[in-house]
Structure 1
Amino acid sequence: MSGVNVGAGRVVTVFGGSGFVGRYVVRALARDGWRVRIACRRPDLAFHLQPQGRVGQVMAVQANIRHPESVAAALHGASAIVNLVGILAEGGAQKFSKVQAEGARIIAEAAKAAGIDNLVHVSAIGADAKSASAYARTKAEGEAAILAAIPSAVILRPSVIFGIEDHFFNRFATMARYFPIVPVVGADARFQPVYVGDVAEAVAKAVAGEAKAGATYELGGPEAKSFASLIDYVLKVTERDRRVAKLSFATGKLVASVTELFTKLSLGLFPTLLRMTGDQVELLKHDNVVSEAAIKEGRTLQGLGVQPQSIEAVAPTYLYRYRKTGQYQAQRLGA
């Protein structure tokens, strides 16, 4: 069972540990007694994670998954590896093929060369080598590369991840704050949002050896909901009276092509809040939920002994700040 001293002072290298999911994973691994080495391009962006453990337990090192030498150096003396690296959209040198496929292969091959077979790779539900989406295809390619080099590796595929720093609920809450209309492409697509803390617990348990070697787990929250219903929930919690405009996939593709053009012409200065890509539209054509096969075979959060937290139990604790009077709602005149 994962817990204090499971790591027993051994080193686990976490690639992408400075990101949204990474900070929770680092906390869970440090709690379990691991010495956590955060490997990222900008170590200075991970310094704030040092208090997650005891003095000297958490440290950051420079590594770029596009450079095999730096990856190999980050694995020196490590007993386990966690790969969290991924991108939602391409930009500059950050390409799906380089980050999610080639990067995963480089990490896996470095792990094999170092004799490390305890590797946990975080992918995504929807990873499919035959998908029309480059994001989904490269996620699948990354998984294949990992298992080809380290057959005992554990793959974790979460649905949309939510938490106080998320880019899902926060994005639509921000849109509702500034615009009278919230556009939605793929309104009927179903998601199974999973709390970031639960994903981190799954990672910690997998690193501790509580997952089936070589298995692929699908991580989702307690229930699946349509995209449109999730937006309605955000509007309800933030008390914003906004119209939800349900766009067809054809219209979504057109809007995406315009925002991608503006992003390119502005040299990346076009507001992130308004960006949408054709690849993201492709993803919205399919549900993003835990499969029946995974449920039947116990390849879920529950199968790892993690009871998933609901959206209703967590999201209001950070979405309140998007209300007109934020945390002072109860003190409004006439309230």
Structure 2
Amino acid sequence: MASNLETLVTVFGGSGFLGRNVVRALCKRDYRIRVAVRRPELAFYLQPAGKVGQIHPVQANVRNAASVQAAMRGSDIVVNLTGILNPAGAQSFEAVHARASGTVAKAAAEIGARVVHVSAIGADENSASVYARTKAAGEKATLEAVPSATIIRPAVVFGPEDQFTNRFAALAQVSPALPLIGGGLTRMQPVYVGDVASAIADAVDGKTKAGATYELGGPDVLTMREIMQMICDITDRDRMLLSLPFGLAKLQALFLQFAPGALKLTPDQVELLKTDKVVSDAAKAAGLTLQGLGIAPEPMAAIAPQYLWRFRPMGQFQRKDA
């Protein structure tokens, strides 16, 4: 029986929040992994996650076809995780989500490699959000080049070092109130990063349906108000939750898009919050979910306290009843 060590998986964007978890999951399954990133020196920290020589960071810019082809040379499977939340300069949503996805998929088609493409729940070519439109364009470009590609659409992903729960917990440290854009009624289905990584590893294993789109969500559907309250409870921060109409939030975002850290808010992020980000009934019926892959998703209430304790006023050992 052939070992997975004979299979080379190239992971584009493997040094990011989701990427590092995907690399770890693939290491546990004994794949050889090439991590293709713009700055490989910032991905060397991944190497201890595998055996000696199992992980090899290489330089690649997904906006450059020759760079992508060189990084992909000899690969059996390609995982495309590249994505951005805040565009800057040449790193635009269109360039990274749409055009780069087509570049990666075409290069994979040329060498006959299987493709796993990671998008996002809410991807919609008719959306008012540029993020959502370009995510949909990336899916389309991928399937046009490689019709058998597996598309993975996670809901909002949480876990240590995320830019979701950590962001709001950090905001609660410095602000007496937390904003609820649109009243905090937008429904989310937060999914644990470890579960998403396991699903992507399953796709690499060949356990997913060719050409299918999987939607990955956690076990609970929560409103933004419920999520904010949960973060406040976990971090022992008594904060006001103030409703902020979409129009006013978008006006504020014109200025806050230039703010640092947790204060940053862009008009496109406000637009994204106008629609729910939950697993569709069609995906559930077709079994194109975590449960369909045999993965029991972890709830945010069970995982978030394990890493958000650092935002408590007195740290990890603060008694909840003190």
- TM-score computed with the length of structure 1 as normaliser: 0.93
Mapping 1:314-325, distance limit 5 Å: 314-325=303-314
In the alignment, which residue of structure 1 is the partner of 2:199?
202
Secondary structure at 1:328's aligned position in 2?
coil
Match of 1:280 among 265, 269, 276: 269
Mapping 1:73-112, distance limit 5 Å: 73-112=70-109
How far is the alpha carbon of 1:97 from its aligned partner?
Answer: 0.2
How far is the alpha carbon of 1:220 from its aligned partner?
Answer: 0.2
How far is the alpha carbon of 1:184 from its aligned partner?
Answer: 2.0
Secondary structure at 1:13's aligned position in 2?
strand
Does the 8 Å contact 1:235/1:242 carry over to 2?
A: yes
Provide, for residues 239-271 of structure 1, a one-character-per-residue CA deviation record: whole Å limited to 9, x for no partner.
Answer: 1011111100001111111223xx2xxxxxx31
In the alignment, which residue of structure 2 is the partner of 1:295?
284
In the alignment, which residue of structure 2 is the partner of 1:123?
119
Identity of aligned residues (%): 53
Cα separation, 2, equivalents of 1:160 and 1:6: 34
Which amino acid in the other structure matches residue 244 of structure 1? L
Does the 8 Å contact 1:36/1:58 carry over to 2?
A: yes
How far is the alpha carbon of 1:6 from its aligned partner?
Answer: 5.9
Inter-CA distance 159–53: structure 2 relative to 1 (3 Å threshold): same
Cα separation, 1, equivalents of 2:3 and 2:230: 39
Which amino acid in the other structure matches residue 290 of structure 1? V
Does the 8 Å contact 2:11/2:81 carry over to 1?
A: yes
Displaced runs of 4+ in structure 1, greater than 3 A?
Answer: none
Does the 8 Å contact 2:250/2:267 carry over to 1?
A: yes
Secondary structure at 1:327's aligned position in 2?
coil
Which amino acid in the other structure matches residue 237 of structure 2? R
Cα separation, 2, equivalents of 1:6 and 1:281: 47
Secondary structure at 1:218's aligned position in 2?
strand
Which amino acid in the other structure matches residue 125 of structure 2? A
Match of 2:211 among 196, 214, 223: 214
Inter-CA distance 271–214: structure 2 relative to 1 (3 Å threshold): same
Which amino acid in the other structure matches residue 62 of structure 2? I
How far is the alpha carbon of 1:7 from its aligned partner?
Answer: 2.2
Q: CA RMSD in A?
A: 1.4
- TM-score computed with the length of structure 2 as normaliser: 0.97
How far is the alpha carbon of 1:5 from its aligned partner?
Answer: 7.4
Does the 8 Å contact 2:230/2:301 carry over to 1?
A: no
Provide, for residues 147-198 of structure 1, a one-character-per-residue CA deviation record: whole Å limited to 9, x for no partner.
Answer: 0010110000000000011111101101111110111213100000000000
Does the 8 Å contact 2:77/2:204 carry over to 1?
A: yes
Question: In the alignment, does 2:249 pair up with 1:252?
Answer: yes
Unaligned runs of 5+ in 1: 264-269
In the alignment, which residue of structure 1 is the partner of 2:6?
9
Provide, for residues 119-148 of structure 1, a one-character-per-residue CA deviation record: whole Å limited to 9, x for no partner.
Answer: 100100000001111000000000000000
Cα separation, 2, equivalents of 1:6 and 1:94: 38
> Which deviates the most, 34-43 or 176-185?
176-185
In the alignment, which residue of structure 1 is the partner of 2:32?
35
Inter-CA distance 6–214: structure 2 relative to 1 (3 Å threshold): farther
How many residue pairs get aligned? The number is: 321
Does the 8 Å contact 1:302/1:308 carry over to 2?
A: yes
Does the 8 Å contact 2:150/2:208 carry over to 1?
A: yes
Does the 8 Å contact 2:186/2:276 carry over to 1?
A: yes
In the alignment, which residue of structure 1 is the partner of 2:230?
233
How far is the alpha carbon of 1:305 from its aligned partner?
Answer: 1.3
How far is the alpha carbon of 1:272 from its aligned partner?
Answer: 2.6
Unaligned runs of 5+ in 2: none
